[in-house]
Amino acid sequence: MATNTDLPIDKLSSWMFAASWGKLHIQQSIKYRESLGMEASSYDVYQLGHLTELEEFLQASWDDYMVSLSQNYQYAEVGYES
């Protein structure tokens, strides 16, 4: 699985929020259906899996970006060019 995207970093946080919100909404829907004694719909479970994967991918992209920032900062601190 790829761990980064070419998505501009200023757009990444919006995508992360949307994926997290969608995941939370589906989790609440599943819990609600289960509290009524019903099974979660297969569509909800399927979508939850995809949103979880998307959220993990976006988090990995964010982590890669943060690592690159810290490396650039370390180079600047020491006086090296990256």
What distances in angstroms separate CA 75 from CA 44, 78, 81, one per listed residue?
46, 5, 6
Look at residue 4 and tell me if it is in a domain.
no
Domain that holds residue 40: 12-78
Q: State residue 26's pLDDT score.
A: 97
Backbone angles phi, psi at 59, to 5 degrees: -65, -40
Q: State residue 32's pLDDT score.
A: 96
Q: State residue 24's pLDDT score.
A: 96
Residues of the chain with pLDDT under 50: none
Look at residue 57 and tell me if it is in a domain.
yes
Look at residue 44 and tell me if it is in a domain.
yes
Q: State residue 48's pLDDT score.
A: 96
Whether the predicted model's global pTM rises above the 0.85 cut = no
Look at residue 32 and tell me if it is in a domain.
yes
Residue 19, C-beta contacts closer than 8 angstroms, at least 6 positions apart: 51, 54, 55, 58
